[in-house]
Amino acid sequence: MRMQGGPAPADARDPHAYANGLTLESGPYALPGPRQLRLSDEHAFGSVLLDRLERVDTKDGNATAYEAQAWFGGTYDRLVLKAEGDVAKGKLEEARTEVLWGHAVAPFWDTQLGVRLDSGTGPDRTWLAVGIQGLAPYWFDVDATAYVGSSGRTALRLSGEYELLLTQRLILQPRMEVNLYGRRDEARGLGSGLADATIGLRLRYEFSRQFAPYVGVEWAGKFGQTADFARAEGQRTRETRYVAGVRLWF
């Protein structure tokens, strides 16, 4: 069965034939001044999601971790800010901050282009970022970004999560993140290839969509040359973390 397509036939009804020449800007019913009625894709919106603000407990001590994302713009183009990091003993251990321009390419997918800044322990690094973020089939949230830095450095970050509704308010969230690097960066303790991976489960209770405390557990590991650098510094390469925090949405 062939679907109808192509140009409309010559005798097709004009969709504006019954408007009598009236528009939103002219005619007896038009309001004075700037146009009042606007469609949703003509407006600029904004949102801030503090996905993780948590206290982390490990055998080596406690730390505070955060992950947030904010955006402002329209339906198709928007400015996106991403931030992730952890603080231990009053010191910023590791942080990733990204400023991106997002463009919708499909109903559930945005491409993103911008810059990333790594700070914390070791020298700061700046990267050009190109990625895609969206909702995969079966409701998996996916974020994949490739980076190019100075001195031929390259990196790839992959993350995904899924929300399993046990009830309308009680939600179990599996989450995974993987980081890979094209060449080693000894100053920041990073080796080439697979550097680290984190897999975790968080159980949250949504008093509202804007406020949801949670508890969870995650497993984190370092691999290859990154693990060698960690051992040389007397750090663990595998650890289990227990977390408790809150998820906020504005």
Q: What pLDDT, in 10s, does the model give residues 5-14?
A: 677 777 777 7
Counting the structural domains of the chain, the total is: 1
Assigned domain for 142 exists: yes
Is there a domain that residue 129 lies in?
yes
Domain region containing 169: 43-249
- Does the structure show a pLDDT above 80 at 18? no
DSSP state letters, 79-130 = EEEEEEEEEETTEEEEEEEEEEEEEEEETTEEEEEEEEEEEESSS-EEEEEE
pLDDT tops 60 at residue 3: no
With a cut of 50, say whether residue 1 has pLDDT above it: no
Residue 3 burial class via C-beta count within 10 angstroms: exposed 0-12, middle 13-18, buried 19 and up: exposed
The mean predicted confidence, pLDDT, of the chain is 91
Tokens of 74: 């329209």
Reported as half-sphere exposure (CB side, CA atoms, 13 A), residue 225 has a value of 14
The Cα angle at residue 165 between residues 162 and 168, in degrees rounded to 5: 140
Mean pLDDT of the 177-193 span: 95
Residue 239 forms part of a structural domain:
yes
Does residue 140 lie in a domain region? Answer: yes
* 14 in any annotated domain: no
In a domain, 7, yes or no: no
The CATH number for 88's domain is 2.40.160.40
